[in-house]
Amino acid sequence: MNRRHSISTRALVLIAGLVLAQQPGCRPAGQMATEGSEAVSAKEPESRLALEEPVGRTTQKVISVKPAPDSAPPSMRTGAVSGPLLPFKAIGAGHFNGTSEPLIPRLPSGAVMGLSPQRRFLVTGETIDKTGLVVRVWDLSSMKVVLERQEPNGIEAIRFHPHGRSFTLDVGSVCDSKTWVELGAATALRPRQTDAGLASALAFSPDGRRVASTGSNQTVEIRDVTGSATRHSLSGHQHPVQVAAFSPDGRTLITGDAAGQLIGWDVTTGKKQKTWSFASNLLAAPVPAERHKSDLPAGNSSESNSTSAAGGGPVSPATASEREVSSSAASGLTAIAFSPDQSVLAVATANGYTQTFDLASGAALSPVFHQSPVVDIAFAADASSLLVVTQSGTVSRWWRAPAPPLLLTQQQGSVRFAALDAAGHRAVTGGVDRQLKVWDVDRQSLIRTLDNGGEAIATGALSPDGRRAVTAAYGTGIALWDLEGMKSLGKRYGHQKRIWAFAFAPDNDTFASAADDQTVRIWRINSPKPIRTIDLDAAVRFVRFSPDGKGLLAATRDPRGWQFPARLQLWDAQAGKPLAEFRGHRMEVNSAVFSSDGKELTSCDAEGEICRWNAATGERLGSRHYPIGLSHSGLIVRHGLIVIRRYSSGVLISQAGDLTPVSSFDVPARSISDLNVAALGDRVIAGTDDGAVYVWRLGHE
């Protein structure tokens, strides 16, 4: 224990100087500390580790670590970390049911957790033996531990002060012992009597001037923090109110009760604005099997209620009567959070679900089941993901996903080629069923089936205007298709080995083919022979024209395999001479896409690295690494988004500019075999090994 203690102490010293502070003491049940004007100017010297001073029956420790203020500007202080918003609407509705990834190692059963009000920090408390536990503070932006401390006693709850710079570790039973931990500069606290009884839901307005709270009844009180007067007493719920949150603009307060009813209130007038009925079947859904008593923390679930209330302040430890209310709350809602742009509301339940709502229409969006009661939720600052804390000890990020896709077809066998025209209205698919199928995407109907002469289709390309297509089987022949006349234009030959990739130039007439014979050949639809052949030094697996059609990008494969780096070069498509080479990938480059002006390009490789390059000079401008292989990239021009296939059935959407991930989701299939985009039509098409073809529509069409 002592050794651990000294290690954690050294860590604290390394991270920041520790400041000890003495804080006001324990509050009786029902009292609530608020960030008020009556600040106690108690700046502590910065050299002491801890100071314990019994106040009444309470022992308090105050620890501070620098620099780590939860320093969001007041305007952003609700439900999300500050930061620039990503093109939120580009992805579509607020479905947060995409890929999930754990943010921290799973915590053991009985661990306690708390999110800071601005969602910058996560505090976890893990029991390490029967009598002690280790408390860690995680910076959610870097997912690194910024504070680690060993506590001799078990704790029941972690509760943040609304300003986010300090939290309490509630130790033992009623007001027995409390430890204050300061994350930044010490801010004085002074308790203020508000409710009599338990404050079961708490929310501070973004500017910190108002607080909404509710006791065990069904009334919500909005008060001025600086004064004692109640501004509004809100009545409308038929069941105990469990959660509350202010909107980012501070004008609306949303409260939720045990029956799942959500009410939006005008903060200024105190009038009811809107009522949503949370999906009753969701609340009625079975409680996860994990939610047994053995899985609950030593106390009960009261910490989940108190910390989950947005801006859950340092309310007092639960009394016996409070625990009864808290147990009833375990069957209802546990947290709500606004998206930063106020378009989506996320709600969490004690039976393990999160559900998002479109705040404009009130429509329920995709629910997600988390296998365990959800303790707390928070939107990432850029609205790309939803952070979910569960009682079983998981803290995970759920990425955004577009609205559910259209199923264009489910055909026999694997679909190897699926493409959209630039506008996204026409799709072409082909696969081992030996057919080229032309689809009307808007109507989800098959326009025509063209027979491929008994050959499977292994790869292909569709012209930007959707009037021409080229395909290849597993050999050297190129099949040309007239999709206006819906007929085959015959085959062209020239390659000596298998063709792997095609690309159309913007003129809709010129196309390039890449093959194992170490050549890229450039063709015109009506010419029987290639108009140009570019010789490379290895098999070519990828080819793409620049937006002006003058440049041609080609990626080769090392003879030893995809695990080895090969070459990514830009060629002059007319002169057949190299213009630039892009060096830096550590494995084979599977795909690359130009920016809309052609000045930059973004490439992705089998290792999972995305690189951004200066197309003229080959200078590397930035990179981002993912743990799994990437391929099949495409650019959605209007939103500046890059769509990439993530092995084996995932789709990753990043900002083209800085490669920041925006969305990540999985296709319901074993594997995606082809992925393409409609550059001007905001649509994505995926052909799968299962024979299904899905089309997503990004944005609000």
Partner 1 sequence: MSPEQRQRMVQLLQVDETFRRDYVRLCQLSSQLMWAAQGAPPDLNLRDRGIAIPAKNAVTRVSRRKRLSPQRVSLGAIVVLVALGLAWTFRPNRESAPLGVVSSVTGTVAVVRGNQPAMPLRADDVLKAPLPMRPGDQIQTDAVGSAVLVLADRTRILLGPESQMTLAARPDARVVVSSGHVTAQVAPQRADAPMIFVTPRASVRVLGTELELMVSKERTEIAVTEGKVRVTRSADGTSAEVSAGQFLPVDEDESLAVIDWPTPPESWSEDFESGLPPGWTGQFVREALPAGSRGALQGRAIPEAPGLRMVAGSPLIERGLFAWHDDSMLHVTFRVQPPAWFHVCLLARTYSRREPLIAWCRVDPDLWRVRAGEWRTVEIPLSEFRWTGSTQPEATLGRIPLQLTFVGPGDLPGVVIDSVRVERKGFEASRLSDPSAGGDPR
Choice between 65 and 456, CB closer to partner 1: 456
Quick check: 29 and 319 in contact, CB under 8 A? yes
Choice between 295 and 324, CB closer to partner 1: 295
Which uninterrupted H or E stretch holds 678? strand 672-678
Listing DSSP states for 386-439 in one string gives EEEEETTS-EEEEE-B-SPPEEEEE-SS-EEEEEE-TTSSEEEEEETTSEEEEE
CA–CA distances in Å: residue 61 to residues 169, 423, 501: 9, 63, 66
- Dihedral (CA of 193, 194, 195, 197) sign: negative
Task: Give least dist CB 452 to partner 1, A.
Answer: 10
Choice between 160 and 278, CB closer to partner 1: 278
Phi, psi of 628 (to 5 degrees): -135, 165
Task: Quote the CA–CA distance of 437 and 441 in Å, as a whole number.
Answer: 12
Choice between 173 and 412, CB closer to partner 1: 412
SS3 356: strand
Task: Give least dist CB 143 to partner 1, A.
Answer: 19
Q: Where are the alpha helices (DSSP H) in 543-677?
A: none
Task: Give least dist CB 160 to partner 1, A.
Answer: 30
Choice between 235 and 449, CB closer to partner 1: 449
Task: Give least dist CB 592 to partner 1, A.
Answer: 26
Quick check: 117 and 160 in contact, CB under 8 A? yes
Task: Quote the CA–CA distance of 699 and 690 in Å, as a whole number.
Answer: 27
Task: Quote the CA–CA distance of 118 and 338 in Å, as a whole number.
Answer: 12
Task: Give least dist CB 405 to partner 1, A.
Answer: 7
- Residues belonging to the chain: 701
Residues in contact with partner 1 by the rule CB under 8 A: 97, 100, 279, 281-282, 284-287, 289, 353, 355, 366-369, 371, 404-405, 407, 410-414, 432-435, 446, 449, 451, 456, 648, 666, 668-671, 689-692, 694
**Nearest by Cα to 541 from 587, 499, 577:** 499
**Nearest by Cα to 356 from 329, 334, 338, 374:** 338
- Dihedral (CA of 622, 627, 632, 633) sign: negative
Task: Give least dist CB 661 to partner 1, A.
Answer: 18
Task: Give least dist CB 630 to partner 1, A.
Answer: 18
Task: Give least dist CB 416 to partner 1, A.
Answer: 8
Q: Maximum CA pair distance of the chain?
A: 95
Choice between 366 and 614, CB closer to partner 1: 366
Choice between 145 and 279, CB closer to partner 1: 279
Task: Give least dist CB 673 to partner 1, A.
Answer: 8
Choice between 589 and 669, CB closer to partner 1: 669
Task: Give least dist CB 358 to partner 1, A.
Answer: 16
Choice between 13 and 628, CB closer to partner 1: 628
Choice between 369 and 562, CB closer to partner 1: 369
Task: Quote the CA–CA distance of 328 and 305 in Å, as a whole number.
Answer: 11
Choice between 315 and 368, CB closer to partner 1: 368
Task: Give least dist CB 648 to partner 1, A.
Answer: 8
Task: Quote the CA–CA distance of 48 and 41 in Å, as a whole number.
Answer: 18
Within 10 angstroms of residue 537's Cβ, the number of other Cβ atoms is 11
Which uninterrupted H or E stretch holds 194? none
